[in-house]
Structure 1
């Protein structure tokens, strides 16, 4: 099977591609661009954006998009969005075990299978589920309304409802669906595929998910504690641009595969890691905190992270994460305007932008014309950078430094109030 390899935000690649496959990629929005190659008939120019992974358009080749960040580091970042408290405590690269694979889909399949194996090692989790059915004998309680409506004056069968102790639970259905989804993805290595098939057999008593239905919901509890890492990865698999489990009436993508949006991965890492680090300073944080820019409430803004006092009442700092490289002159004007708007609405004297890379770890701009505070300073817009090529412990240290800067903003706010 023909395969095409692209690099995240890399140059466009001319690929022999049929019209149907090319159009499917163009309308799907998963690539930054997909256009016919004007210089080569039957070819399309494909350029990847922020999404990484693998996809396959109908009648077309497998398209692999390699991330700029090493795969092991990418899954370290992903671990914060899946389980931030555990990831913050454990800075090892192996929080999400990707094996020796350096491609997104093989690494993901390996990680999910290993987590499934750990979850099922003590046996398949069972739980109570309400069952309604027709039966020849009465079990549980009689559904009187249904009995009269369906079988008035006749016995049996009886319309009954009872609680069944079964392996057909939301948790097991999610794990089975994730295994089946991975088994259909292109690029899953043979040894991993065989282990995934084994896990699917272990979960045979769980009902398969129906195409088009929303994913079953589960609640973390003491009973499913050993399942939780596997469940979080399973949900990431099932929501990774799969057309299979989108709500009815939605417009599913014309391509099939698994993709991670690095914009979202980076934003989740920054906000989740900062929230955990800020707890060490007695501060709380709200993610995607909604506010209105204008007095009429017509223009909505939603900063990535609003830092608040320990009781959650008073905002002390605001943060926005940007998955982009800081420019050579250090300026992203639109980002700075956005940060200033956040600070103005929240009544703050500073705002913070966190970039995926930059020439300096920190710099600031003091805004002209803003009222000076007790310290003689106007509003400041800080720019921080996190080098994603660094080791996990170094990343944690950089996050702690930014959290310390935010805590200083909180101390200044408290001293002037």
Structure 2
């Protein structure tokens, strides 16, 4: 166990064994427990012990800074997050991300992508405006007018389209910039750059934390915005910053890597299997028993002509010595195959320590396959590995399920 005093950053490794003892006040303890990035327990001498679990990210509470680094690296973590939410998230979206610290990685990447997006000027577009005017412009909002101004002819409640900067793309960018500017103790150079970019989007609506990000659609006009928008959406979803309820300003970026891995595998396999007939469910939904009382939900289920054709389950087990397939995992996949009438099912392990293998179950025609996936490799190669694995799984599927004789 190490003993340290803030303000030096405390850096822990995901699922690491290290515990750190800190002198914390009640507000800091409450914030750490609310964010749930690390485990917190009382120690001797009025101190508190913190330890990393399966969540990764960073939190700043006043002068206290704690970071839990992902074993896959910050760039790959951001790629998994982005790709799981949007397959359009590309490996180049995280190229060149700094390796030292999550906050610098987020800030410098946002600055770089936003500068490129705004290089030829901010996008403009038509945005709907609700207003009360002394004359008719656009369409009259009769219901609002009658409800708010009964018997009054003027002003008139209207809605019209105005060509300006206040469009969804710019709202997402500016809100992400403001969210990063609220991070305490951000590097001065990053603060300056972010403030400059914020000024370029003056007049654009900043979304409140409770407001979901507006939808945007890829087009020829906003193609230069796409990388910045994808990163900005991650910041809006996972990054929070506020003055705090006590004496400390708080900023946090926290993700559960187990959930991230499952979501990434689901999206990556769905994309890889899109070249085959049928559709992919993530997760799959079926039942184990004939009475349909016991539900099963494999992480990925590919269906052709209404019948299961391939089943996969993702396991994020990266603790030391945990990369080997466990009996419960194999039993679970065997149950999936038996219930779905499949002759083979696949377990995908993150950072598996054993070579790929299969087990043929005695007194049955069912085989359980195990495949490790190296999450530390570059994203482009990782997607190639998933595609290769999906192709192999479909070749092993029953020809009748694939529509072949």
Call closer, same or farther: CA 1:72–1:30 in 2, change over 3 Å: closer
Which one of the candidate residues 269, 272, 276 is aligned to 2:271? 276
Shift of 1:281: 5.5
CA offsets per residue over residues 184-227 of structure 1, 9 Å max, x none?
A: 22464332322221221122221122243333333444443333
Partners of 1:394 and 1:6 lie apart in 2 by 28
Query: Retained in 1: the 8 A contact 2:238–2:255?
Result: yes
Shift of 1:145: 4.5
Q: Does the alignment pair 1:17 with 2:18?
A: no
Q: Partner of 1:318: helix, strand, or coil?
A: strand
Partners of 2:183 and 2:21 lie apart in 1 by 24
Show the counterpart of 2:95: 97
Alignment map for 1:324-403 (pairs within 5 Å): 324-325=317-318, 327=321, 330-370=324-364, 378-392=365-379, 394-403=381-390
Shift of 1:84: 2.5
Which one of the candidate residues 101, 109, 113 is aligned to 1:111? 109
**Between 7-16 and 152-161, the greater mean CA deviation after superposition:** 152-161
Alignment map for 1:43-122 (pairs within 5 Å): 43-57=47-61, 61-85=64-88, 87=90, 94-122=92-120
Show the counterpart of 2:246: none
In the superposition, the TM-score normalised over structure 2's length comes to 0.84
Partners of 2:345 and 2:20 lie apart in 1 by 39
Q: Partner of 2:213: helix, strand, or coil?
A: coil
Partners of 1:300 and 1:118 lie apart in 2 by 48
Call closer, same or farther: CA 1:9–1:67 in 2, change over 3 Å: same
Alignment map for 1:191-210 (pairs within 5 Å): 191-210=189-208
Structure 1: state its 5+ residue gaps.
Answer: 245-253, 371-377
Alignment map for 1:215-294 (pairs within 5 Å): 215-240=213-238, 242=240, 256-279=251-274, 284-294=279-289
Partners of 2:276 and 2:143 lie apart in 1 by 58
Q: How many residues align?
A: 390
Q: Does the alignment pair 1:302 with 2:306?
A: no
**Between 61-70 and 72-81, the greater mean CA deviation after superposition:** 72-81
Q: Partner of 1:307: helix, strand, or coil?
A: strand
Q: Partner of 1:45: helix, strand, or coil?
A: strand
Shift of 1:284: 4.6
Show the counterpart of 2:183: 185
How large is the Cα RMSD of the aligned pairs? Answer: 3.0
Show the counterpart of 2:3: none
CA offsets per residue over residues 134-159 of structure 1, 9 Å max, x none?
A: 11232223334444555555553222
Partners of 2:256 and 2:189 lie apart in 1 by 27
Query: Retained in 1: the 8 A contact 2:15–2:52?
Result: yes
Q: Partner of 2:122: helix, strand, or coil?
A: coil
Shift of 1:182: 1.0
Shift of 1:362: 0.6
Q: Partner of 1:205: helix, strand, or coil?
A: coil
Partners of 1:276 and 1:187 lie apart in 2 by 40
Query: Retained in 2: the 8 A contact 1:105–1:187?
Result: no
